[in-house]
Amino acid sequence: MLPSPRLVNRRSFMKQSSLTAGVLAASPLIVPSSVLGANPPSETIRMGMIGTGRQCYLKNIPLFQRQPDCRIVAVCDPDAWRMNQAKEKVDKYNQSKHGMKDQCATYADYEDLLARDDIDAVMISTPDHWHRVMAVEAMKAGKDVALEKPIIRTIKEGQQLRDAAEKYNRIFRVDSEFRVGTPARRAYSIVQSGVLGKIHKVYACVPKSDIPLDPQPDMPVPEELDYKRWQGADKTQAPPIEYTLNGVHPRHDLHGRPGWMRKLNYCDGMVTNWGTHLLNGALWCMGLDREFPVEISGKGIYPEADSFWNVLLEFDVTYKYADGVEIIYRTDRPYMRFEGDKGWIEAGFNHFKASDDSLLKAEHKLVDAPLPNQTSEKRDFLDSVKSRKPTWEPADVGHCVTSTCLLGHLAIHLKETLQWDGKNERFIDSERANAMIDQPIVSPKPAV
């Protein structure tokens, strides 16, 4: 008989929040300007958008613009065409809704945006290899940070983000919407109600990656793109490669899926991209989003060696936790499944079912459970900027969840069953794996 999920009630949540607040209050380094007498961003939060590609243009800008207490005042991107498209979108909205004419500034260099002391917060929507660098520098500059998922490429980067949020006393939000959606919230309520009994196995499944791509020719860099700045070879761990369209993003198009999302130089593919949705949701429902697994094993399929896109096509990972719970994380149709000794539930984007329909009635029983803001992850972030209380997905949670995804990728990549010391965040008896704690996987072939 295996343990139940960690039940979370309002009292334990408030206790944790108080402890977090105490840690932040004890920080001697940087105090919010509002504490020192400056006006807090209580009426209007001035935001800068760093990275203005598809996710920013189609989702993040509109969602922040809809919040009545938020004004986007600056955009930044090394692709001038994309940056100017974002500026036009922001200016048009600001003029029609707020009477602000042509007041959105543009920056090719994010450091120039961060140097502005009139910007309260930033939304970072860049390729993954830039996430940790920009987020840490933003917090150091006194900005609160909403950071697109996946927030890191290495376990070390997660540690650095977590530590920076505490050191600089900044509000941090993983910009992932899955927890505020209906499937995750229903699953959370049912799992936490205890009606499934002792849960012994959990499934978190995500779609397969795209098909491989033949080798691509080198191409001239478009005049609107500062490719060297985009790659960030002097600041990031992305190995520099010659420009080709399918390694970056579509030209003069903000709807197409960018090629960098299938390239190990810049990201880990679906194992982190969607793991920060479905695996994130499963860990949250189980009360394990601040706890690491103790054993990780897995297998996966990379494309052929000559494929230009080289992220994992398929994978199947098993995480074992200290209390005996097993979480299976694999490619399939997207869903979460929780199996207990009294029944099971399965939650997907377009379906929700159970071993017995009576179990679905339990979703309203846990009335005292803390749940994230029902509106959006953007509202949660802005509320925390104003209240100075932690978001529902702060840096320590983002580190644990995304690093758990990376632990699975490492087990596949190294073809090892890995033992993990979560307290010290080190592998046990695997120097090969420990050597990868601060190194991203940039090739299907292990470097160590």
- All residues at 6 or more sequence positions from 278 whose CB lies less than 8 Å from its CB, including other chains: 178, 204, 205, 206, 329, 334, 335, 336
Task: Examine residue 103 and state whether it is found in any structural domain, yes or no.
Answer: yes
Q: Each residue of 159-177: pLDDT tens digit?
A: 999 999 999 999 999 999 9
Task: Residue 93: give the domain boundaries.
Answer: 16-177
What pLDDT score does 393 carry?
96
Domain count for the chain, please give it.
Answer: 1
What pLDDT score does 24 carry?
35
Copy the structure tokens of residue 366.
Answer: 């846990």
Half-sphere exposure of 122 (CA within 13 A, CB side): 32
- Here the CATH number for the domain that contains residue 63 is 3.40.50.720
Beta strands at 343-348 and 335-340: parallel, antiparallel or unpaired: antiparallel
Low-confidence ranges of the chain (pLDDT < 50): 1-39, 367
Task: Examine residue 64 and state whether it is found in any structural domain, yes or no.
Answer: yes
What pLDDT score does 4 carry?
44
Query: In whole angstroms, how far apart are CA 258 and each of 147, 177, 244, 248?
Result: 18, 20, 12, 6
Task: Examine residue 337 and state whether it is found in any structural domain, yes or no.
Answer: no
Q: Each residue of 177-192: pLDDT tens digit?
A: 998 888 998 899 899 9
Task: Examine residue 165 and state whether it is found in any structural domain, yes or no.
Answer: yes
Task: Examine residue 358 and state whether it is found in any structural domain, yes or no.
Answer: no
Q: Is 269 left (phi over 0), alpha (psi -120 to 50) or beta?
A: left
Q: What is the edge-to-edge ordering of all strands in the sheet holding 172-175? A: 105-107, 70-76, 45-50, 121-124, 144-148, 172-175
Task: Examine residue 171 and state whether it is found in any structural domain, yes or no.
Answer: yes
CA distance 88 to 58: 13
**Sheet strands (E) in 207-312:** 295-301
CA distance 96 to 76: 22
Q: Is residue 206 within 8 Å of 274, Cβ to Cβ?
A: yes
CA distance 268 to 272: 6
Pinpoint the alpha helices (H) of 175-235.
182-193, 227-231
Task: Examine residue 48 and state whether it is found in any structural domain, yes or no.
Answer: yes
What pLDDT score does 370 carry?
61
CA distance 438 to 198: 36
Record the pTM: 0.90
What pLDDT score does 3 carry?
39
Q: Is residue 294 within 8 Å of 216, Cβ to Cβ?
A: no
What pLDDT score does 437 carry?
98
Task: Examine residue 392 and state whether it is found in any structural domain, yes or no.
Answer: no
